[in-house]
């Protein structure tokens, strides 16, 4: 059995989060594959051919269809959002020349398998509730993503509470590697009219720029200390709910 470690390391507006998923790659017998290739539930067909059964099949299918995406924004390792505030385990299956691509909802979102294997929903496990991370954006948690931070990088935007400025290098998707110690962009309130591009961040609530973590789900007041032209300036910035756009990740 082979393992693929899928790392989604995301940093938005000075917030960093790393979500690691281990996705298993398994071999499927070519004869079983041919018999199941037209099945709507490929993974379920393979399990049936192997003599395995699962009472969760119907539950999992319902969770991926038509539910409101209202709860949670972070899935555990080896799981992806399946809709309705739930996460479903996924595996990599090697289908060889009979491959038909990733299962519906899993392609084009930065999810990959080694050796030509393809991602499929693992209906042999119960779905689990998505958990919450205040440093990842609120809003709809789309199917096929490990968390809304990863989702924001893939989409090139997010909406949530922020102070209206960025500390990331411009022109590239935000990540832990693009964080600077300066204001690189002012895009909204309350930073507009107060902070300027080039201001050096001394501290936010007494913490360094890399240590500070913002709550993107709730408004908060933050004490921001910056240096500009040799002068130290202090600002009390109350976060506002707003949209920020940036270059989206290209390799999806």
* Each residue's pLDDT tens digit, 119-164: 899 988 889 999 988 889 988 899 999 999 999 988 899 999 999 9
pLDDT, residue 250, reads 67
Judge whether residue 25 has pLDDT over 50: no
pLDDT, residue 65, reads 36
pLDDT, residue 60, reads 42
Q: How does the average pLDDT of the chain come out, rounded? A: 77
Enumerate domains of the chain plus CATH numbers.
2-155 (no CATH), 160-242 (2.30.42.10)
Judge whether residue 247 has pLDDT over 60: yes
Pairwise CA distance, residues 245 & 234, whole Å: 27
Pairwise CA distance, residues 91 & 71, whole Å: 24
DSSP-based three-state secondary structure for 175: coil
The average pLDDT across 101-123 equals 84
Q: What number of other Cβ atoms are within 10 A of residue 18's Cβ? A: 12
The alpha carbons of the chain give a radius of gyration, in whole angstroms, of 21
Q: Tell me which of 95 and 136 has the higher pLDDT.
A: 136
pLDDT, residue 30, reads 59
Lowest mean pLDDT among 34-48, 183-197, 232-246: 34-48
What residues form DSSP beta bridges with 19?
Answer: 8
Taking only the tens place, the pLDDT of each residue in 179-228 is 889 999 999 999 999 999 999 999 999 998 888 888 999 999 999 999 99
The model's confidence at residue 175, banded by pLDDT at 50, 70 and 90, is confident
pLDDT, residue 85, reads 87
Q: What number of other Cβ atoms are within 10 A of residue 144's Cβ? A: 26
Q: Hey, what are 95's tokens?
A: 């289908």
User: Does pTM surpass 0.85?
Assistant: no
DSSP-based three-state secondary structure for 152: helix
Q: Of 19, 25, 28, 33, nearest to 4 (Cα)? A: 25
CB-based contacts of 193-199 (< 8 A; 24+ apart in sequence): 194/235, 194/237, 195/165, 195/224, 195/226, 195/235, 196/228, 198/228, 199/226, 199/227, 199/228, 199/233
Q: Tell me which of 49 and 68 has the higher pLDDT.
A: 49
Judge whether residue 44 has pLDDT over 60: no
Pairwise CA distance, residues 242 & 163, whole Å: 9
């Amino acid at each position: 059995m082979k393992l693929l470690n899928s790392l989604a390391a995301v940093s938005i507006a000075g917030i960093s989060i790393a979500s690691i998923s281990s996705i298993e790659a398994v071999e499927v017998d070519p004869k079983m594959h041919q018999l199941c290739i037209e099945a709507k539930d490929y993974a379920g067909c393979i399990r049936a051919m192997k003599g395995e059964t699962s009472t969760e099949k119907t539950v999992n299918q319902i969770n991926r269809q038509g539910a409101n995406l209202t709860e949670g924004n972070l899935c555990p390792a080896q799981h992806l959002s399946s809709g309705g505030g739930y996460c479903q385990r996924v595996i990599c299956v090697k289908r060889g020349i009979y491959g038909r691509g990733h299962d519906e909802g899993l392609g084009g979102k930065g999810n990959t398998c080694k050796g030509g294997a393809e991602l499929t929903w693992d209906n042999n496990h119960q779905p689990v509730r998505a958990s919450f991370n205040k440093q990842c954006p609120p809003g709809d948690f789309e199917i096929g993503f490990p968390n809304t931070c990863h989702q924001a990088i893939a989409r090139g935007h997010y909406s949530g509470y922020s102070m209206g400025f960025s500390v990331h290098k411009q022109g590239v998707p935000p990540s832990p590697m693009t964080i600077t110690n300066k204001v690189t962009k002012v895009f909204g309130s309350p930073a507009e009219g107060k902070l300027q591009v080039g201001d050096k961040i001394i501290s936010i609530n007494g913490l360094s720029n890399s240590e500070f973590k913002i709550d993107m789900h709730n408004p908060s007041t933050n004490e921001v200390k910056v240096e500009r032209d040799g002068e130290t300036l202090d600002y009390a910035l109350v976060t506002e709910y707003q949209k920020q756009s940036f270059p989206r990740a290209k390799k999806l």
